[in-house]
Amino acid sequence: MADPIHERDATGKALDLVAEAAAPYLESLTTRPVSDPGAEESLGELGGPLPEHGDGTLAGVSRLLRTGTRAATHSAGPRFFHFVVGGATPAALAGDWIASLLDQNPGNWAASPFGTQAETVVLGWLKDLFGLPESYGGVLTTSATSANFTALSAARFWWAERHGVDVTVDGLAGLPPMPVFSSGYVHVSTRKALQMLGLGRDTVRRFARDDAGRVDLPALDRALAETDGPAVIVANAGEVNTGDFDPIDEMAELAERHGAWLHVDGAFGLFAALSSRARHLVDGIERADSVISDGHKWLNVPYESGFAFVRDAALLGRAFGAWDAPYLPGDGDDHVNYQFLGPDSSRRARALPIWATLRAYGREGYRAMVERHLDLAAHLGRLVEEAPDLELLAPVRLCVVCFRYRRPGIEDLDALNTRLGAELLADGRVFAGTTVYRGMTALRPAIVNWRTTEADVELLVSIVREIGSRLTA
Give the Cα separation of 140 and 438 in Å (integer).
35
Task: Determine the pLDDT at residue 2.
Answer: 75
User: CA-CA-CA-CA torsion for 282, 125, 186, 241, nearest 10 degrees?
Assistant: 80
Fill in the DSSP letter of residue 402: -
Q: Are 187 and 266 in contact (CB under 8 A)?
A: no
Ranges of beta strands (E only) in 221-297 are 232-236, 261-265, 290-294
Look at residue 333 in the predicted model and tell me its pLDDT.
74
Query: What pLDDT is attached to residue 1?
Result: 61
- Spell out the residues 6+ positions from residue 31 whose beta carbon is closer than 8 angstroms to its own: none
Burial class from Cβ neighbours inside 10 Å (0-12, 13-18, 19+) for residue 83 reads middle
Longest dimension (CA), the chain: 75
Between helices 57-71 and 11-28, what is the axis angle to 10°? 10
pLDDT, residue 29, reads 95
pLDDT for the residue 332: 65
Measured CA to CA, the distance from residue 158 to residue 129 in angstroms comes to: 27
How big is the CA angle at 238 (ends 394 and 195), to the nearest 5 degrees? 120
Q: How far is CA 259 from CA 181, 217, 254, 307, in A?
A: 13, 16, 8, 25
DSSP 446: B
| pLDDT tens, N- to C-terminus, the chain (473 residues) | 678 998 989 999 999 999 999 999 999 999 999 998 777 888 888 999 999 999 999 999 999 999 999 999 999 999 999 999 999 999 999 999 999 999 999 999 999 999 999 999 999 999 999 999 999 999 999 999 999 999 999 999 999 999 999 999 999 999 999 999 999 999 999 999 999 999 999 999 999 999 999 999 999 999 999 999 999 999 999 999 999 999 999 999 999 999 999 999 999 999 999 999 999 999 999 999 999 999 999 999 999 999 999 999 999 999 998 666 766 776 667 889 999 999 999 999 999 999 999 999 999 999 999 999 999 999 999 999 999 999 999 999 999 999 999 998 899 999 999 999 999 999 999 999 999 999 999 999 999 999 999 999 999 999 999 999 999 75
393 closest CA partner among 443, 352, 329: 443
Asked whether the beta carbons of 298 and 372 are under 8 A apart, the reply is no
Report the SS3 class of residue 67.
helix
| 267 and 238 Cβ atoms separated by less than 8 Å | yes
Rounded Cα distance between 252 and 180, Å, is 15
The predicted model scores a pTM of 0.95
* Pairwise CA distance, residues 407 & 452, whole Å: 29
Q: What is the 3-state secondary structure (H, E, C) of 71-97?
A: HCCCCCCCCECCCCCCCCCHHHHHHHH
Rounded CA separation 178/448 (Å): 35
8: left (phi over 0), alpha (psi -120 to 50) or beta: alpha
Distance in angstroms (rounded) separating the CA atoms of residues 285 and 422: 38
Determine the Cα angle at 419 with ends 418 and 422, to 5°. 90
Peptide bond into 304 cis (omega under 30): yes
d(CA 256, CA 213) in angstroms, rounded, equals: 23
- What's the Cα-to-Cα distance from 388 to each of 391, 404, 405, 418, rounded to whole Å? 8, 11, 9, 19
Ramachandran assignment for 321, one of left (phi > 0), alpha (psi -120 to 50 degrees), beta (any other) = beta
Rounded to whole angstroms, the Cα distance separating 36 from 73 reads: 8
Identify whether the C-beta of residue 315 lies closer than 8 Å to the C-beta of residue 157. yes
